[in-house]
Amino acid sequence: MTIQNDSVIRVLQGKPVKKTPIWIMRQAGRYLPEYRKLRKETGSFLNLCRSPELACQTTLMPIERYDLDAAIIFSDILVVPEAMGMELRFEEKTGPIFSKPIRNETDFKKLNTGQIFDSLTYVFEAIQLTKKELNDRIPLIGFSGSPWTLACYMIEGGTSKNFETILKMMYCNPTLLLNILNDLTDIVTNYLILQQKHGADILMIFDTWGGIIPFQNFNQFSLQFNKRVIDNINRIGIPNIIFSKHTFNQLPSILKSNPSGIGLDWTVSVEEAQKIIKNKVAIQGNLDPTILLTNEKTIQLEVKKLLGKINHSTRHIFNLGHGITPSAKPENVEVLIETVHNYR
């Protein structure tokens, strides 16, 4: 069947659209009262992720509430290392924690780096259910963390301010780190392709921590692996987006990895980004998420300012420059979407 509103796909394919499409990173999340209610009932974030029915229900929450141009499957990038055998838990105010992080080769060899996908069937089932419920109204986005970003969590044991453990490994034991990244690249590639086979229309790679890598090391430890994933996705002909936070100085190199679209974080000048990208691929972003904490007038002003900086020839998907925050006001999201869609 043909997707009724395929504007996000059309932008990624370089085809014309009548209005700028919009979706929002973390659009199914804690800012929604119906999400908070369901999460309280189910007991934990991971319980939501692991239930195909609940993940489908959560994915559809913002679609039922707003006129969004794409859905993104409700899941988490860390289900991948969990499927590899790492014990994962989420704690309030702390976030994800791996009880036994990778600190040496022995730790790494304990993990399953082969066929882990039987442990992720709940993700694929959630995609199938959601695709059916969407009934080809809008496209469904599947996603994964990048090899580097997954490695950051797996080696640090969770999130970190300085990422000292993985950066120390980069300098002191680069062979081990490259082996980890190489295996993760194969896993991420196969994981994304399986999402496509189960119904995902677009695939996205979140390189959230790419920006912590020193400039001279970025290609060796992040970009080359992302490019391998993108090359394999491109071979099956599915549109894709890479979001690499705080890596504006790497934009020319990221462009050479040949994605369909590049997500820009909120610190990036869209004028400067357009000069580099030159409409070779689509750009996605990049409103400051904090603006959704303000008011209708401010949101309208800032959205119009951003859209006014986009050249008519630029292939643009509107999004935030990072995930929506839990304190965002649901009514402000409505203002955001209406302002984007009504802009001429």
- By annotation, the residues acting in catalysis are 26, 30, 39, 76, 153
| Stated length of the chain | 344
Write the DSSP symbol of residue 257: T
Cα distances (angstroms) measured from residue 31 to each of 56, 90, 213, 293: 18, 18, 31, 11
CA–CA dist 112, 86 (Å, integer) = 9
Check if the beta carbon of residue 140 is closer than 8 Å to that of residue 71: yes
Q: What is the DSSP letter of 312?
A: T
Cα separation, 158 vs 93, whole angstroms? 12
φ, ψ (nearest 5 deg) of residue 67? -90, 65
Q: How far apart are CA 138 and CA 28, in angstroms?
A: 15
For 186, what's the count of Cα atoms within 13 Å in the CB-facing half-sphere?
A: 11
Q: Two tokens at 54?
A: 């609940």
